[in-house]
Amino acid sequence: MAPTLILKPGTAWSDAWQQCLAVAPEAFRDDHVLNLWSASWQDGGRTLPATTPVDGSPIVGPPRLAADAAQQAVRASLDQHRAWRHVPLAERRARVGATLDALTEHRELLALLLVWEIGKPWRLAQADVDRAIDGVRWYVDGVEPMLAGRAPLPGPVSNIASWNYPMSVLVHAMLVQALAGNAVIAKAPTDGGVACLTLAAALAAREGLPITLVSGSGGELSEALVRSPEIGCVSFVGGRDTGARIATTVADLGKRHILEQEGLNTWGVWNHTDWDALTAVIPKLFDYGKQRCTAYPRFVVQRSLFADFLAAYLPAVRSIRLGHPLAVEHPDDPLPELDFGPLINAAKAKELDDQVAEAIDRGAVPVHHGSLADGRFLPGQDTSAYLAPVTLLNPPPSSPLHHAEPFGPVDTIVLVDTEAELLAAMNASNGALVATLATDDPQTYARLSPQIRAFKVGHGRPRSRGDRDELFGGFGHSWRGAFVGGELLVKAVTTGPPGERPPGNFPDYHLMP
C-alpha cells in the first residue's frame, strides 16, 4: 500500500506569498502584484484569476494593463534608457552584481514560486534560478571585451517570453541587456510566473537597474511592446504563430529582433548499438514534462533496430517519476526527486490527451501509455493538469503530433528504412533548435549531421540551449533574427561598426557564427 503523503510544512502557496510581502512590500499587495514602470511600482489593471497547476487551488494572477498604460510605460523606459546608456560600465557591473547577490539570497523563495506558478519540481526550479544567476555572473566578469567598440541600442529592449523558464531565459536576458547599457522592458507571461518575475524585478529595481515589468494581453500590448518607435529591439520566446506575426511586424519596421520559436526536435537512431546509453538518457529527456524548447519529442528509428530500441526505451520510460512537487511522507523528508509534475494548466493536459486519443483513433499505435495511478499525489488532490507519459508509433499526418512540438510528455516514433527517409523525418518541421543522431560510425555522423536542419546536433547525446559562451539559434521557422549566447547575446543588443551584419536568420540573409 502506498504511503499517505502530506504537503511539506512551510511550502504552501500562502507561505511563499507571505515571504514575498515581507521581502518586497513595494511590489506586492495582500491579493495582487503591481506593475513596474517609470522606476516605481504602479497599481492598475484588472488582476486575472489564476490557479496553480500543482493542485488547482487559487493563486495570484497577472494584473492586466491597458494598452494606453503600456504605451506610457514604454515612453518612460525610453527616458530611463537615455540616462542608463551613459552610466559607466563599472557602475553597471556593480549594480547587476548586487542584483545577483540579492537573487542568491532569495534563491529558495524564487524557486518555490516557480513550483506553485508553473509546476516545476524542486530540483528543476532551483536549477532555473541558479542558471540565471551563474549565467549572468559570467557576463559580469567577462563583458568588457564583448563591449569593445560597441554602444547600447537607440531604445530599450522589449522582452516577450513564454512561461516555462522565467529565470534562466527571461531574467537572464534582461540582466545581460541592462549590463550592455540598455533599459529593459518585460511582459509577464499570462500563463504563469508573474510572482517570481515580480520578486526578481523588485530586487533589480532596488539596485537601480532600468527595469520595466508589465502584464496583460499579448494582442492588446503588442502595439506598445513591438511596434512602438521607442523600442530598440524585440526579444521573443514562444510559439510559431505568435512569433511569425511579430517577425512580420519587426521586419516591416526594420527593427532589431531576436525571435526564438518552436520546432520539432528529433532524435535519430541509425546503425546504433549502444542501447545502455539510450536507456540512461531517456528519463532526462522527460525533465519538466518536455515543456521546453529543446525537448526531444520525436524519435526517428531505423526499422531494423526497432525491437532493440523498444527494449532500451520502454524500461526507461516506465521509470519516469511524476507527481505533486511538494508532497512528502514525513514533515522532515526532503522534497521529492521527480522528473516532472503538472503541465502548465489543465487545458493543456486535456488538449494533449485529446490529441493522443485522436491520433490512436486514426491509426497511431500506443507503444506506452502511463497512468497517474503511479504518481505521487496528496489524498484527493486535483490532478487535472497532470498527464502521464505516452508514446505513439507512427502518428498519422493529420495529427498535430505528426508535425508539431507537443510541449508535454508525449513521444512519437517514426520508422525509416533509408538515410533519405531518416533526414526527411528529422527535418519534418522545417527547422529546429536541437537534434541528435545516435550512430556508432563517426563518419556516418559527420556525413549526415550537416543535413539535419537544427542549430545544434548532438552525436548520441542531447543538446541544450546552453549557458555562458555557448551560442544558440535555430534554422528555418524555428528562429528569426539575431542568434544569441556568449558574446552574440551582447552583440544582439548593442550596435557595432556601420554595415555590421550580426549572425542570425534574417529575411534577407542567414549568417552562421
- The distance of Cα 102 from the centroid of its chain, to the nearest Å, equals 23
Contact 470, 485 (CB under 8 A): yes
In the predicted model, is pLDDT for residue 419 greater than 90? yes
Of 252-256, 349-353, 469-473, the least confident? 252-256
Q: Tell me phi and psi for residue 424, to 5 degrees.
A: -60, -40
Tell me what the mean pLDDT of segment 71-95 comes to: 97
109-140 per-position pLDDT tens digit: 999 999 999 999 999 999 999 999 999 999 99
Q: Tell me phi and psi for residue 91, to 5 degrees.
A: -70, -40
Torsion, Cα 44 46 52 55, to 10 degrees, reads: 130
Tell me what the mean pLDDT of segment 367-387 comes to: 97
User: Among candidates 268, 99, 78, 235, which has minimal Cα distance to 161?
Assistant: 235
Q: Tell me phi and psi for residue 27, to 5 degrees.
A: -105, -20
Tell me what the mean pLDDT of segment 227-252 comes to: 81
Average pLDDT, rounded, for the chain? 95
Q: How confident is the model at residue 1 (pLDDT cuts 50, 70, 90)?
A: low
Pairwise pLDDT comparison (200 vs 509), residue with the higher score: 200
pTM of the model: 0.95
Tell me what the mean pLDDT of segment 183-204 comes to: 96
Report the relative pairing of strands 46-51 and 58-64 from DSSP bridges: antiparallel
466 C-beta neighbours (distance < 10 Å), count: 16
Contact 77, 37 (CB under 8 A): yes
d(CA 494, CA 178): 11
Q: What's the pLDDT at 3?
A: 86
Contact 46, 63 (CB under 8 A): yes
Q: What's the pLDDT at 403?
A: 86
Tell me what the mean pLDDT of segment 320-346 comes to: 97
Residue with cell 531565459: 169
Report the relative pairing of strands 211-215 and 184-188 from DSSP bridges: parallel
Contact 214, 138 (CB under 8 A): no
* Sign of CA pseudo-dihedral 488, 490, 494, 498: negative
Tell me what the mean pLDDT of segment 289-312 comes to: 97
137-192 per-position pLDDT tens digit: 999 999 999 999 999 999 999 999 989 999 999 999 999 999 999 999 999 998 99
d(CA 283, CA 404): 21
User: Among candidates 144, 172, 118, which has minimal Cα distance to 385?
Assistant: 118
12 by Cβ neighbours in 10 Å (0-12 / 13-18 / 19+) ranks as: middle
Tell me what the mean pLDDT of segment 89-103 comes to: 98
In the predicted model, is pLDDT for residue 504 greater than 90? yes
Which amino acid, one-letter code, is at 508? D
User: Among candidates 45, 21, 14, which has minimal Cα distance to 213?
Assistant: 45
Q: Tell me phi and psi for residue 503, to 5 degrees.
A: -60, 135
d(CA 176, CA 37): 19
Torsion, Cα 376 123 96 21, to 10 degrees, reads: 30
Q: What's the pLDDT at 261?
A: 87
Three-state DSSP class for 232? coil
Where are the strands (E) in 334-409, listed by range? 365-369, 390-393
391-410 per-position pLDDT tens digit: 999 999 999 999 889 999 99
Which amino acid, one-letter code, is at 180? A
Q: What is the C-alpha radius of gyration for the chain, rounded to an integer number of angstroms? A: 23
Residue with cell 526579444: 235
- Angle (CA) 304 306 311, round 5°: 135
Contact 319, 311 (CB under 8 A): no
Contacts of 160 (CB under 8 A, 6+ apart): 186, 187, 218, 225, 226, 234, 235, 236, 237, 238, 246
